[in-house]
Structure 1
Amino acid sequence: MIENLEFLNNVVSWEYKGDSVQKKLNNIIFVSEDSTNGYIKIETGENFVTDLVYYFSYTGKILLEYNLKTGEIIWEKGKKERRAKLYNLENVSYFPQKNMTLAIYGENTDIQVYDKDGNIVIAFKAPKYFKLEYFQEFSNYVTVVGTGSMDQADKYGRTSYNFKLNFEDDILEKIDISY
């Protein structure tokens, strides 16, 4: 585990196994630790609008970065890097324990799934009448939250649902209301 995660001005710092790690980035908005997947996530952007997101290992090595303006995703693997570019990139989530990076993109907010090296594994189409928003990780699976039109509302007017990424049948499976 890391200790003393903090950011001040344009510097994020933490301690890991007795070593101090610092990252200097402009316009830091948000910093978080994902202890399940073992990384530090740093969101940056002007006027508190996220544009660039970085994932660092606890030792400070860059693992993944993406740019919402350009649609570019970059996986860092030692001296090699792998790049992908998606039109209208909306959101990216990195799940190294599940060997995947997920991206929501396009006018229909479809999903592209990559392996840990940035190779395309599968694509999912957004369910009709839903806009895909963000991913949630559970112990045995991942869901994407989709917001539907009022035609998709339950009897209480709720329109946000969890869709499980079903890799066996290549579908997004609607499982429950998202809170």
Structure 2
Amino acid sequence: MIDKLFYQSNQVSWSFLDKKVSVELDHIITASENTTNRYIIIDTGEKFISTRVYYYSFDGNLLMMYDLPKGLLEWSFNGHINKITTEELRDVGYFISNKTILIMSQLEKTNITALNLNGDYLYEISSLEGYEMKFFQELPEHVSIVCDGDTNHIDKFGRNRVNFKLDISTGKLSKGGIAY
């Protein structure tokens, strides 16, 4: 794994296999290591609002980036650069270990499009009745879509945020537990 992950407003650095890696970006908010997919995630944006997210391999190669305001998603796979633009981009899930990219966009309703790493279409998930899709969450055993329920989906403690477990190969969802 990596050692000494450090970030400040315009630079992220870490060590990997005795090599120091450094990346310069503007307006860095946070940087973290994802050990499951073996990459570094760097969130950037002004006033602590994430607008651009970068994914770097442990050895410092840019794997993917997305720009929420521009609706732009770019990633590299097998030496080929893929680019997609979409209206109202809300979130992107980059799950190398599952060979899947999930793109959440919100036009009239929130929808998710699943692609393989080559950029080929796999499936689409339509908005869930009574829920608003918010973001992706990767857990050791599965990927979830975190949703906020409407007034008909509030428990007796006033909680309405839940996980829907995603079968990454089929796109089928099953309701999980409370999300935080």
Instruction: Provide structure 2 residue ranges, at least 5 long, that are not aligned to the other structure.
Output: none
1 CA distance for matches of 2:161 and 2:3?
Answer: 36
CA contact (8 A) 2:9 2:29 kept: no
| Percent of pairs with identical residues | 32
Equivalent-residue separation in structure 1 for 2:9 and 2:60 (angstroms): 18
The 5 A counterparts of 1:158-173 are: 158-166=159-167, 170-173=171-174
Indicate if the aligned counterparts of 2:104 and 2:112 stay in contact, CA closer than 8 A.
Answer: yes
Map of 1:95 onto structure 2: 95
71-80 or 102-111, which deviates more: 71-80
TM norm structure 2: 0.92
> AA paired with 2:103?
A
- Contact kept in structure 2, 1:13 and 1:21, CA below 8 Å: yes
The root-mean-square deviation of aligned C-alpha atoms, in Å, is 1.7
Question: Any idea what the Cα deviations from partners look like across 1:130-172, whole Å, max 9, x if unmatched?
Answer: 1111112233421101001121112222111111223576432
Stretches of 4+ moved more than 3 A in 1?
166-171
Consecutive unaligned residues in structure 1, runs of 5 or more: none
Alignment length (residue pairs): 179
Displacement after TM superposition at 1:78 (Å) = 5.6
Deviation by residue 1:24-50 (Cα, 9 ceiling, x = unmatched): 101111111111110000011122211
Which residue of structure 1 aligns with residue 154 of structure 2? Answer: 153
C-alpha distance in 2, partners of 1:119/1:170? 15
- Residue pairs, 1:118-129, within 5 angstroms: 118-129=119-130
How far off is 1:77 after superposition?
A: 2.8
Q: 1:168 to 1:102 in 2, by over 3 A?
A: closer
How far apart in 2 are the matches of 1:168 and 1:89?
22
Return the letter of the residue paired with 2:97.
Q
**Structure 2 Cα separation of the partners of residues 98 and 160 of structure 1:** 25
Matches within 5 A, 1:67-146: 67-77=67-77, 79-107=79-107, 108-146=109-147
Residues in 2 aligned to 1:114 and 1:139: alpha-carbon distance in whole angstroms:
21
Q: What is residue 55 of structure 2 aligned with on the other side?
A: 55
Q: Which amino acid aligns with 1:67?
A: D
